[in-house]
């Protein structure tokens, strides 16, 4: 994911990914590991366009952070 999420958002992502693994895959909560991999927008592209350019074109409410 692109950099820019708050610590609170990251905590929620970790909690929710864990909950889904427990609920859907019957995983043991203590065994679920979540790694959030943050990438700078200039190091990621989609559809042939660097995300640094694509993010700048999206409405503000759709941008991370």
Number of domains in the chain: 1
Q: For the CA atoms of the chain, what is the radius of gyration?
A: 15
CATH number at residue 38: 3.30.429.10
* Residue 33 resides in a domain: yes
* Residue 13 resides in a domain: yes
* Residue 51 resides in a domain: yes
Domain containing residue 49? 7-62
* Residue 44 resides in a domain: yes
* Tokens matching residue 13: 């992502």
pTM: 0.73
Residue linked to tokens 């995983």 = 27
Question: Residue 28: helix, strand or coil by DSSP?
Answer: coil
* Residue 2 resides in a domain: no
Say what the pLDDT of residue 5 is.
96
Q: Name the band, by pLDDT with cuts 50, 70 and 90, for residue 64.
A: low
* Residue 1 resides in a domain: no
Distance CA 17, CA 3 (A): 18
Say what the pLDDT of residue 25 is.
98
pLDDT digits (tens, 9 = 90+) for 2-61: 999 999 999 999 999 999 999 999 999 999 999 999 999 889 898 999 888 887 765 444
């Amino acid at each position: 994911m692109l950099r820019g999420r708050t610590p609170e958002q990251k905590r929620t992502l970790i909690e929710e990914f864990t909950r889904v693994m427990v609920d859907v895959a019957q995983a043991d909560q203590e065994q679920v590991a979540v790694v959030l991999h943050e990438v700078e927008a200039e190091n990621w592209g989609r559809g042939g366009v660097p995300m640094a350019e694509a993010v700048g074109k999206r409405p503000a409410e759709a941008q991370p952070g």
